[in-house]
Each structure stands twice: as C-alpha cells, then as structure tokens.
Amino acid sequence: MKNGQINRTGKPMRIEVVENVQKVNDRIAAVNRALLHEHGVRSFNLIGAPGCGKTAWLERTLASLPAGLVVGVLTGDLATTRDAERIAAHTPHVAQINTGRGCHLEAHQVQEGLSRLDLEVIDLLVIENVGNLICPVSWDLGQDATVGMFSVTEGDDKPAKHPYIVLAADLLLLNKTDLLPYVPFRPARFRADLAAIRDDVPCIEGSVATGAGFDAWLDWVTRLVVRVEDPLEEARS
Ligand SMILES: Nc1nc2c(ncn2[C@@H]2O[C@H](COP(=O)(O)OP(=O)(O)OP(=O)(O)O)[C@@H](O)[C@H]2O)c(=O)[nH]1
Ligand SMILES: [Mg+2]
C-alpha cells in the first residue's frame, strides 16, 4: 500500500509514513558515518533524560582527555546555545543544533552540524542528544557507539521503565553518585533491573562532582578513538 492511501479501517497509513521517514533518516545516517570514517573520526551519541548531567559529564571529559586528542561536539537542544557555550570553554570545535519542538536529533540535522565542524582535525565527535530517554534511541545519526546516561536523582527504576536505551547502548553511565546519601536510590535494585534486561552491557557508576568512574570512562573513550586510528590494535591486544 502506498503512502496516503487509506486502509480497510478507513484510516490513513501513518505507520508507513513514519517508516519512510526513518528510511530516509537511515540513508543520511549512513552518509554521516561514511563521512566521519573517511576523515578518521570516531563518534558516540550520548542519550539521557533532561538534566541527568550529559553536558557536565562532557565538560569534565574534555578537561581530562589528553590535549592531543581533538574532540568535536554537537549539542542538541530544543532552544538556546547554552550547552554549546559551556562546551566552548573546552574546545573550539562545537556547534549547537536547535530542534524547536523536536524531541530528538535526526541524521539530517547532524549532517548540517557536521558541515560546521572541521572534520580534518577532529579525532572524536560527541553528539549530545536532546534530553530525552525515549525518542533519540530510535534515530540513527551515523555514530559508532551509543552511550546511555542515567543519574541517581531520577530514581532507580529508570532502566526498567526505559528498557530501549538499555538495549541500544554500547555503554551505560550512572551519574551523580555523590548524591547517593541524599536520595532514595537503591543501587542493587538498579543493577538487578539492568541485568534483567541485558547482562552484557557495561555500566560505569560515577560522578562529575567527584570524578568517580572517570578512569574507566576515559579508558573507554580512548579505546573508541584508537580503534579507528589503528584498526589492528584490538586484534593485537
Ligand atoms: N551533584 C551533582 N550534580 C551534577 C552532576 N552532574 C551534573 N550535575 C548537575 O546537574 C544539573 C544538570 O546538568 P547538565 O549537565 O546541564 O545536564 P544535561 O543532561 O546536559 O541537561 P540537558 O542538556 O538540559 O538535557 C546541573 O546543575 C549540573 O551541575 C554530578 O555528578 N553531581
Ligand atoms: Mg546538556
């Protein structure tokens, strides 16, 4: 059945339209991925609820990575350039994408964002998605890896209630562990829920405020970048 046709219930075929939009998105995502690899740029898409600490985590990351590693950042928000301004204190390679009412980034927006970055000099591209644990999971942007972030202030039930980010992630982060003494968050419950959904995804528990977990995180980031610079590295190690 073609777009715009009416099905037997008399209702328009809305699902097919969404599928077509996603097919277009996937094609542009593939173009983004090829462009990034052509320039030797590795990338990850950071997804988490509003205020879980994505930008703060990136600020600490940028301040901690070796100076020789050049990081580009695309920050996605409905409005304002505030996240890009925060990131600009650490790297000149940053561009803000405003989505208006859009609850997630799409590949064409990232494609436009990439045109504002100098891919010749960037080693790692970080895409901070719009604060949302739901929609961003379904939209490929062309990234190599997907990182999902939770924080203890959101409650320990979030993996159970948002299983799709757990299923999609290559790595999970649990931020704001410095606040554990002050919030009713049960780490054992959080870990058990995660394991019930998927037991093969690593989860780094840490805090921007204290730096806990950052050794493991920086190691993961460095390995992501090294893989593209020397694809044989993993085979040798
Ligand atoms: N105590 C504590 N506060 C944190 C930590 N990480 C971030 N915050 C605070 O949490 C608030 C939200 O942080 P942001 O970095 O803006 O969060 P975000 O996920 O980027 O938010 P959006 O981009 O709006 O979705 C800020 O007030 C941060 O200072 C942490 O590890 N511990
Ligand atoms: Mg942010």
At residue 4, does pLDDT exceed 70? no
- For 32, residues 6+ apart whose C-beta sits below 8 A from its C-beta are 107, 110, 111, 114, 141, 142
131 in contact with ligand 1, CB cutoff 6 A: yes
Q: Which residues contact 216 (CB under 8 A, 6 or more apart)?
A: 204, 206
Instruction: For residue 25, give the 3-state DSSP assignment.
Output: helix
- The Cα-based distances of 46 to 1, 50, 170 in angstroms read 36, 12, 11
DSSP 153-217: GG-TTHHHH-HHHHHH-SEEEEE-GGGGGGS---HHHHHHHHHHH-SSS-EEE--TTT-TTHHHH
Ligand 1: atom nearest CA of 206 is 31
Mutate-to-test residue for ligand 1 from 47, 208, 210, 214, highest number of ligand atoms within 8 A of CB: 208
Residue 17 pLDDT class (50, 70, 90 cuts): confident
Q: For the segment 111-137, what is each residue's pLDDT rounded down to a tens digit? A: 999 999 999 999 999 999 999 999 999
Pocket test for ligand 1, best of 45, 47, 52 (most atoms within 8 A of CB): 52
The model's pLDDT over 32-77, given as tens digits with 9 standing for 90+, comes to 999 999 999 999 999 999 999 999 999 999 999 998 999 999 999 9
Does the CB atom of residue 60 touch ligand 1 within 6 A?
A: no
Domains belonging to the chain, first-starting first, are 14-227 (3.40.50.300)
State the distance from the centre of ligand 2 to the C-alpha of 55, rounded, in angstroms: 4
